[in-house]
Amino acid sequence: MSIAVIETIAELRTVTADARSAARRVALVPTMGALHDGHLALVRRAREVADVVIVSIFVNPLQFGPSEDLDRYPRTLPDDLARLEDLGVEAVFAPSALEIYPDGPAGTRVSAGPVGALFEGRSRPGHFDGVLTVVSKLLNIAQPHVVLFGQKDAQQVFLVSRMIADLNFPVGVEVVPIVRESDGLALSSRNRFLDAREKVAALRLSVALEAAESSADRGLDAVLAAAQSVLMGESLVELDYLSVVHPATFLPVDDTHQGRALVLVAARVGTTRLIDNMLIFLQSNRS
């Protein structure tokens, strides 16, 4: 059975309302398309936790800044549909920007707050306001029981989860672990922009995270030093940020912190900006 491609809000609401009335559990997998195995892992998990799986494919203009790659972002709907064909997806919601924002950029937006201005938000001002606004719209349109995101976009996961809790959306959140290539590179739609040499250089991000994890028993300073030493050894990698944050607050930890911590890294490799992260168990280096 071929996947239904839905382009209007009204049609999607009908599909999900019919599913709910039949007591079928609905999962939503929001994406911007250019699907890779990381996205497909979300879909497979959605299939496990729900009866009806909806994948949205929408390149959201609100989350791109003036100098960012909105026009360059890959749009590959026919290929995306082919990749989803055998995964039990009931429908793909592929609206136009006019359908989602009929009066132009939304006048009402969801604020990501202070955490939204850190890390990715510092490098991409307004990005997370755009993300939260479109996610809130998708949740209101689709009314799913569960929504799925990938851990690679850790700050997005944190902010979306907090928004859902703060604004009392009746939806559960499933977070799927990062999917990596065999060499360790985190899968990303932007990896296709890397040439052969840049792809080798991009591996430094995951190697830096592994070095950080190996140093976790020696404290925060050792973690940062180990990761920085890996990244500084590659001229094609221009570091944007490297930080260790508390998973519950997404704020940087200090050298007294012990326990779970998240190492974040973002860098430009050639002209392509990449992010990655890894959960570690940090020991304090202070007695």
Domain boundaries, the chain: 4-176, 189-281
pTM of the full structure: 0.95
Strand partners, 135: none
**CATH number among 3.40.50.300, 1.10.10.10, 3.10.450.230, 3.30.1300.10, domain 189-281:** 3.30.1300.10
- Do the Cβ atoms of 150 and 42 come closer than 8 Å? yes
**Position 230 pLDDT exceeds 80:** yes
Query: What digits encode the pLDDT tens for the residues 127-140?
Result: 999 999 999 999 99
Query: What digits encode the pLDDT tens for the residues 26-51?
Result: 999 999 999 999 999 999 999 999 99
Distance CA 253, CA 250 (A): 9
Total residue length of the chain: 287
* β-sheet with 259-269: strand ranges across: 237-245, 259-269, 272-282
CATH number of 4-176: 3.40.50.620
CB neighbours (10 Å) of residue 6? 21
**What pLDDT score does 67 carry?**
66
**What pLDDT score does 228 carry?**
97
In Å, how far are 62, 134, 156 from 108, measured between CA atoms?
12, 11, 20
Question: Can you read off the two tokens belonging to residue 18?
Answer: 């019919």
- What residues are labeled active site? 39
